[in-house]
Amino acid sequence: MNKKIKLDLFKLKSKQDLEGVYRFFKESTAKWFDSNQKPKSEYFHIRECPLCNADTSKEVFEIDGFSYHKCLSCQSLYTKPHIRDGVLNTLYSDGMYQVYQDNLVKNGKEIRKGVLEERKYSQIDSLLDKSSPTLLDVGCGGGTFLDVCKQHGWYVEGVDPSPTASLTALENYQINVHHGDFNKIKFNKTFDVITLWGVLEHMSDPISAIKKAKELLNENGMIVFEVPSADCFISEYLKKYNFSPTRYIESGRHNIFFSRVIIGGIAEKFGLKIELIESNGLDIQTVLLEEFDTKITEKILKIQDTLNDLLLGDHYRVFLKK
Ligand SMILES: [Zn+2]
């Protein structure tokens, strides 16, 4: 199996840039709350669990005015009240958001493409029985992951709600990216692999996106997704100490956290087999959010590696096979 990477958060994103995005979001979302810091009903509504539709839940922590509930049925976490459809799109299409976002990912660009995207590619390649498969990346952004797969001889297409993302992918890598909402786009072909990296947690109806992916999937094909975990170390830490991390929670953006239970439920519901599940966390560095000398960083990375072995890292990576 593919070797794990000991990921250093600060080589990917600097503390300063993380805090910049956090402040930007805090300011941009201030109008969603009233003078008592309570969510306004024009921006929020009460809804059932977005993953299993159960309506019983319990508040586990409150951060930046957002109340996070644990679904008593599937153990996932979600914000309640939940942001209404369309509210986030307005925020994402704010030009300033793109500026902060570009800044945030700028430093780690080479590691991201040369190491992380390569690892994603080789993980899928080792689990797939087909050479030169076709791939659709949902929420592909500027297309760096797609380009890595293309370089390895795969046929690739992307989907992204951002018009600039589709242009960037076409200009830089000559890759076809459908612009719009994945659930609404009509595709004229099916694929061997459909990937959703850090996408489902931003959607108001993640299950319908998985349903659509399954419909577009060839026999023996694979759906791969990465989502924030509800079972991780950092979520337990939050329940205890109610602190506000600039990563993981990303108030207003990460509104759904997947439990191991719901991942099993999704596989069962769609008749897919869990081929592999791993956690890729940055829990400890997120809690500490400080720069350390190399010796301590080394230890932190070892603790994180141990958490990941226990599947307690803050993101799950899931490979489901048809
Ligand atoms: Zn649920």
Q: How far is the CA of 105 from the centre of ligand 1 (A)?
A: 32
Q: How far is the CA of 231 from the centre of ligand 1 (A)?
A: 13
Q: How far is the CA of 109 from the centre of ligand 1 (A)?
A: 35
Q: How far is the CA of 160 from the centre of ligand 1 (A)?
A: 27
d(CA 105, CA 97): 12
Q: How far is the CA of 311 from the centre of ligand 1 (A)?
A: 20
Average pLDDT of span 148-172: 91
Position 307 pLDDT exceeds 70: yes
Q: How far is the CA of 38 from the centre of ligand 1 (A)?
A: 24
Q: Label residue 296 by pLDDT band (50, 70, 90).
A: confident
Residue 132, judged by CB atoms within 10 A of its CB (0-12, 13-18, 19+), counts as exposed
Give residue 1's pLDDT. 61
Q: How far is the CA of 240 from the centre of ligand 1 (A)?
A: 22
pLDDT in tens, 258-295: 999 999 999 999 999 999 999 988 888 887 776 667 77
CATH code reported for the domain at 9-321: 3.40.50.150
Structure tokens at 137: 């990346």
Any idea where the domains of the chain sit in the sequence? 9-321
Give residue 299's pLDDT. 82
Q: How far is the CA of 76 from the centre of ligand 1 (A)?
A: 6
Q: Label residue 20 by pLDDT band (50, 70, 90).
A: confident
Give residue 257's pLDDT. 95
Reported as type and span, the H/E element at residue 195 is: strand 191-197
d(CA 75, CA 78): 10
d(CA 91, CA 29): 9
Q: How far is the CA of 178 from the centre of ligand 1 (A)?
A: 31
Q: How far is the CA of 218 from the centre of ligand 1 (A)?
A: 29
**Number of Cα atoms under 13 Å in the Cβ half of residue 289:** 15
Q: How far is the CA of 262 from the centre of ligand 1 (A)?
A: 7
pLDDT in tens, 184-243: 999 999 999 999 999 999 888 999 999 999 999 999 999 999 999 999 998 888 888 877
Query: Hunting for tokens 């924030």 — which residue is that?
Result: 228
Position 3 pLDDT exceeds 80: no
Q: Tell me what percent of the residues of the chain surpass a pLDDT of 90.
A: 55
Q: How far is the CA of 44 from the centre of ligand 1 (A)?
A: 19
Q: How far is the CA of 48 from the centre of ligand 1 (A)?
A: 8
Reported as type and span, the H/E element at residue 149 is: helix 144-151
Give residue 292's pLDDT. 65
Question: Which residues are 228's β-sheet partners?
Answer: 315
Q: Tell me what percent of the residues of the chain surpass a pLDDT of 70.
A: 98
**Helix, strand, coil share of the chain (percent; to 5):** 40, 25, 35
Q: How far is the CA of 238 from the centre of ligand 1 (A)?
A: 20
pLDDT in tens, 60-104: 988 888 899 999 999 999 999 998 888 877 777 777 777 777 777
Most confident of the ranges 118-127, 164-173, 306-315: 118-127
Q: Label residue 167 by pLDDT band (50, 70, 90).
A: confident
Position 246 pLDDT exceeds 80: no
Mean pLDDT for all residues in the chain? 89
Q: How far is the CA of 57 from the centre of ligand 1 (A)?
A: 8
Give residue 291's pLDDT. 64
